[in-house]
Copies of this chain bind each other. A is one copy, B any other.
């Protein structure tokens, strides 16, 4: 490949799910030991630690926050439930602002029934209603398309093209898209849609892992970079050509990685990141 490897891990961000056994404090301390300067906390971990304490830990460590995971989950069967989801998203925005996150990642949610078009409409409406609140708090929303195998359980937004189309209704400063290689690598439209996202500087996050063959588990089977078939460096090149030079989150849902001592996992991640991303 023509593109150069990354010279260092300055852009590497630890998505906290990758070291799921660690508390936020442990993850922050692990990043410090590993000389990793970005982190992407998960809300459940932030809630365990407390928001103010999380903020203090991250700030004292000098870490930057690439994103907060996650808002979204907009569709629900009743208007009251959808309102509650929106309210929870407002809390997520406040937390993201408090933590100084570059963006709030949106995992948009599944349909509560068989009507996938209706659910997609609810996602669009939910984002539309969330945007003014997010703008007031200085938080950019990042629509993350999920792999179509999660369409029934996690997100009715399943392609980058769909995320781009949905984001297009908003100012790029308010709503962008997140490119996660695990979710989008298979898409024949991938490079065209990355370029399209770049035209308006919509890319607000770039996540890496790998697709192992065969997939060990639908949810917990993501691979460490280099273990699978994803053209990681080619996708990074496309994302950079589209104007994104921000943090690169390593987000690996994998039981074997979770079972490793955290420091070992981080050492391996850094090595594979330099070799493969």
Contacts and interface: CB of A to CB of B under 8 A. Distances in A.
Interface of A: 111, 113-116, 120, 147-149, 151-153, 158-159, 161-162, 185-189, 211, 213-215, 218, 228-231
Given A218-B218, A229-B114, A231-B116, A152 B188 contact: no
A214 B149 contact: no
B187 A148 contact: yes
Contact of A149 (B116, B148, B231): B148
A115 B116 CA distance: 32
Given A214-B153, A215-B218, A218-B218, A186 B148 contact: yes
Say how many copies of this protein the assembly contains.
2
A162 B188 contact: yes
A152 B187 contact: no
A158 B159 CA distance: 12
Contacts of A229: 111, 113-114, 116, 152
A188 B158 contact: yes
Contacts of A149: 147-149, 215, 218
Nearest to A215: B218
5 contacts: A114-B229, A114-B231, A148-B186, A159-B188, A162-B188
A274 to B, nearest CB: 18
A186 B188 CA distance: 15
Contacts of A114: 229-231
A153 B188 contact: no
Contacts of A185: 116, 151
Contacts of A228: 152
Given A115-B231, A116-B185, A152-B186, 17 more contacts: A113-B229, A116-B231, A147-B148, A147-B149, A148-B186, A149-B149, A149-B215, A149-B218, A151-B185, A152-B213, A153-B214, A158-B186, A158-B187, A159-B187, A161-B189, A214-B218, A218-B218
B162 A211 contact: no
Contacts of A186: 116, 148, 151-152, 158
Contacts of A188: 120, 158-159, 161-162
